A and B are shown apart, each in its own frame.
Chain A
Amino acid sequence: MNSVALLSAAKDGILTGSVYALMATGLTLVFGVMDIINIAQGILVILGAYLSYALQLHWHIDLFVGLLITTPTMFIVGVVIERAFIGRLKGPEKTAMSILVTYAVSLLIEGGLNMIFSVNDVQLQASYVSKSFAIGQVHFGFIYVAGFILAAVLLGALYVMLYRTRFGMSVRASLADQASAALVGIDVRRVSTITFGIGVAVTAAGGMIYGATNSFNASSSYDLISRLLTIIVLGGMGSLGGAMVAGIAMVFIGDVVGVVWSPVWSTMAYFVVLILVLLWRPQGLFGRASARVA
C-alpha cells in the first residue's frame, strides 16, 4: 500500500468531511428544534453555490467575500420558507408531512435553478481553487483547507451561539421540550423561524465550498441530500456534535477504505459502519433515545 496515498486519503476525509459536517449541521439543528426533516437542504446548498456563482459571474465578487452577501440572503430564504410552508405544519403528522413539504420546496427551487442557469454543469472559479501547498509528499488544496477552517469557525460560532447566548438557551430549551419552553415564556415559533433561517444560512458557506470543489447543477442536490441524511442519522438526529463527527467519519471511512481496499467498497464501508452503529445505538452516536417526544 502506498503510504502517501493513505495519508492523502486521511487528509481528504477530514478536510472534505468537515464541509459535509457544516452542511449537515443545519439539517440536524432544524430537526432538533422543530421536528422537521428538511429534504430541501441539498438544493439549498446548491442554491448557495449558484448565488456565489452569480456574484462572481456578474459582479466579479470573490467567493469568500461573497459569503457576506450570500449568508444573510440564505438566512432570509430560510425564514421565508419557514413562514410560508414549514410553520403551517401542525399536529402529530408534522414530521412526516415536513418530508413531503420540503421535497416540494426542493422541486420548486430545482425547477427555478434549471430555468435560470440551465442544467449544464458549472464550477466556481478562482485563482486559489486549484492551488495547493505540500507538507512532505502530501498536498493540501487551499480551497479544502479554507473550507475546513470556514467549517470550524462557523461550527464554533454556532456552538457559542447555542451555549453562550440567551437565544441559544431558548433554542436548547425548545430542543429539549417545546411545550415546557413555551410555558416559561419562550416564543417557540420565533425561535423555530430563526433556527430554520440559521440552518439554511450555513448552506451558503457549504454551497460555496462544494461549488468550488465540484462541478454542479441543480440535480447535484439529490446526491447531497442522501449523504446529509445519513450523516445526521449516524451522528444522532438533533445532535450538532454528532453531525460534526459523522460528517468527517463518512468521508474519512470511504476515502481510507478506497485506498486500503478498493474504491468500489468505499460507499458500502460507510453504510456497514452506519448499520453496526444503529444496531448498537438506534438513536445514533450522540442522539438521545427519546429526544423528540412531543
Chain B
Amino acid sequence: MKHGNRRYLRVLSATSLAGASLVTMVGASGASARSHASSPVKIGISLSLSGDFSADGQAFQQGYKLWAADINRAGGLLGHKVVLDIKSDASSPTQVVTNYQALISNDHVALTFGPFSSLLSLPAAKAVSRYGYALVEGAGGAPSVFQAGLHNVFDVSLPVADDLMPFAKWVTSLPAAKRPKTVAFVTSNDPFTEPQVTTIEPLLRKAHIKTVYNHVFPAEVTDYTSIADAVAASKPQAVVLGSVDVPTVSAFMQAFEQSGFSPKVFIATGGPDQGSTFIKSVGLKNANGMMVPNAWYGGSANPLSRVMVAQYVKKYGGTASQVSSDVAEAYSVGEVVAQAVKATGGFNNQKIIKYLHSGVTLQSVQGPVRFNGLGENTVPTAFTFQWQGAKFVQVNPVNDRNSVRVLYPKPAWGK
C-alpha cells in the first residue's frame, strides 16, 4: 500500500472514530437532555407486527402496552408519562435496524426496548449501540446475542442454552425401566433453538438414551410433513423439537398423528407456551401432555406476576393459562428499565448501562434479574411446563414446590 494511502486511511479512521464518538455522546446526552419535567418520555420499540414472528410480536406489544398503562397509572417514570413509539419491522433483521435508527435519530426517543427474537435482537443491539443507547430486551437470549461483544444489551429472560436442562435432568433421573430408550432431535437452524437442543443431547446420550434421528432444518421451510414423517419412521420414544412458533409444532403434531406415531415424551422449545394461540391451532385434546421449557407461566406464584396476569385477563380476557410468555417477557423489560431509571435518577443511557452492569438484583414478573458482564440474566430458574387437560402447569424442576407430577407417558393424540 502506498504511504499516501496509509495516511489517508489514518485520517479517515480518526475522522470516523471522532464522528462515531460524537454520535454516541449526542445520542446519550441527547436522551438525558430531553427529559424536561412533566413532559412525556418516549420509548422506542421495533416489533414484528407482521411476518414470521407476528403472533409473538403482537403478544410482546400487549406486554409493553400493559406495562406502560400500569406505570402511567402509578405516575409514570420519574413523573413523566410514558409514551411508546412502536414501529413494525415485519420480522426482518434489516428493517429492525432501520427502525431503531429512525426511532433515535428522527423520533428522538429517550430509551429503547428490544424487539422479538434473538434473530432481531442482535442487529437491533448493534444499531442502538452506535448511539450509546441501552437495549433491554426480553426475547434475545441466544448465545450469539451475548457473544457479539456488545456492552449495551441486556436480556431480562432466561439464557436459552439452559432452557432444556430441567427437562434433561428429569428424563435422565427416571428409573431405567421407565426412561425413554430412544430420542429424536430435530431443530430449526435458529439461534434460539439450536443451542437448547445441542446442550442436552450429550446428557441424554450419557443416560443411555439412544439418538435415532438428529437433524437441523432450514428456518424458511414451510412444509414439515416429510421431516416429521422421517422422525416418525425412526420411531423414537422421545422427541425434542427445536421450534420457534406454533405452526412448526402444529405441523409436526399433525404429521405424527397421521403417521400413527405418538411418542412417550414430546417437548418443543417454542409454541406450546403461546397459550390460546397454540390451543386454537392444535386443539385442547391434542395439546394434552405437550411440554415446553421456559422461565415463566401464567400460573406463576410470583406476586408481581399474579398482579400482571390479573391485569392482562381484565384487559384482554381469557384465563391465566392462556397468557403468552411473550407478555411477561415484554412486561419484565419495562419493569427492569423503570428500576434503572429510578436508581439513576434520569434517562441517561450511559448511566443506565453502568447501573445494569453493576451486579444489582432487580425484580420482574419473571422473577429476579441480575446481569453479568455480557448482559445475560444470571439468576432466573429454568422450568418445564406441560399442558394437562385445559391447564398449563409447571412440571420441572421436580423438587420445586410449585411443580406438579409430569403426565408421563404422554397420552395418545386426541386423548
A residues near B245, Cβ cutoff 8 Å = 121
A264-B250 contact given A2-B234, A119-B57, A222-B51, CB 8 Å threshold? no
Does B218 belong to the interface (CB within 8 Å)? yes
Verify A262–B91 contact, CB threshold 8 A.
no
B residues near A266, Cβ cutoff 8 Å = 217-218, 221, 226
B residues near A227, Cβ cutoff 8 Å = 222
- Name A9's contact: one of B229, B258, B260 (CB within 8 Å): B229
Interface residues of A, CB < 8 Å — how many? 50
Count of CB-CB pairs between chains A and B under 8 Å: 146
A residues near B260, Cβ cutoff 8 Å = 132, 134, 139
User: Which of A81-89, A123-131, A160-168, A276-284 lies at the interface with chain B?
Assistant: A123-131
User: Which of B68-76, B276-284, B298-306 lies at the interface with chain A?
Assistant: B276-284
B residues near A213, Cβ cutoff 8 Å = 225, 251, 254
B157 shortest CB reach to chain A, Å: 21
Distance between Cα atoms of A238 and B58 in the complex (Å): 39
A residues near B281, Cβ cutoff 8 Å = 121-123, 215
- Name A130's contact: one of B55, B227, B232, B257 (CB within 8 Å): B257
A99 shortest CB reach to chain B, Å: 18
Give per-residue flags for A175-202: 1 if the beta carbon is below 8 A from chain B beta carbons, else 0.
Answer: 0000000000000000000000000000
Distance between Cα atoms of A256 and B245 in the complex (Å): 25
A residues near B54, Cβ cutoff 8 Å = 114, 119, 217-219
Distance between Cα atoms of A121 and B272 in the complex (Å): 13
Verify A12–B258 contact, CB threshold 8 A.
no
Verify B258–A132 contact, CB threshold 8 A.
yes
Verify B227–A263 contact, CB threshold 8 A.
yes
B277 shortest CB reach to chain A, Å: 4
Does A141 belong to the interface (CB within 8 Å)? yes
Distance between Cα atoms of A9 and B189 in the complex (Å): 21
Verify B222–A223 contact, CB threshold 8 A.
yes
B residues near A214, Cβ cutoff 8 Å = 222-223, 247, 250-251
Give per-residue flags for B311-352: 1 if the beta carbon is below 8 A from chain A beta carbons, else 0.
Answer: 000000000000000000000000000000000000000000
Does A251 belong to the interface (CB within 8 Å)? yes
A16-B223 contact given A5-B234, A130-B413, A218-B50, CB 8 Å threshold? yes
B325 shortest CB reach to chain A, Å: 15
B96 shortest CB reach to chain A, Å: 16
B residues near A141, Cβ cutoff 8 Å = 225, 254-255, 258
Does A110 belong to the interface (CB within 8 Å)? yes
Give per-residue flags for B26-51: 1 if the beta carbon is below 8 A from chain A beta carbons, else 0.
Answer: 00000000000000000000000111
Interface residues of B in 251-267 (CB under 8 A from A): 251, 254-255, 257-260
A158 shortest CB reach to chain B, Å: 23
Does B310 belong to the interface (CB within 8 Å)? no
Distance between Cα atoms of A118 and B54 in the complex (Å): 10
Verify A8–B258 contact, CB threshold 8 A.
no
Does A290 belong to the interface (CB within 8 Å)? no
Nearest residue, chain A, Cβ from B255: A141
Verify A120–B216 contact, CB threshold 8 A.
no
Interface residues of B in 346-361 (CB under 8 A from A): none
Verify A224–B233 contact, CB threshold 8 A.
no
Verify A9–B247 contact, CB threshold 8 A.
no
Does A267 belong to the interface (CB within 8 Å)? yes
Given A123-B282, A214-B247, A219-B52, 20 additional A-B pairs, CB 8 A: A2-B234, A8-B226, A9-B230, A13-B226, A119-B57, A120-B276, A120-B280, A121-B245, A121-B277, A130-B258, A131-B258, A141-B225, A141-B254, A144-B258, A213-B254, A215-B250, A222-B51, A251-B223, A266-B226, A267-B221
Q: B-contacting residues of A (Cβ < 8 Å)?
A: 2, 4-5, 8-9, 12-13, 16, 110, 114, 118-123, 125, 129-132, 134, 137, 139, 141, 144, 213-220, 222-224, 227, 251, 254-256, 258-259, 262-264, 266-268
A-B CB proximity, top 7 nearest: A255-B226, A263-B217, A215-B247, A5-B233, A8-B229, A141-B258, A119-B54
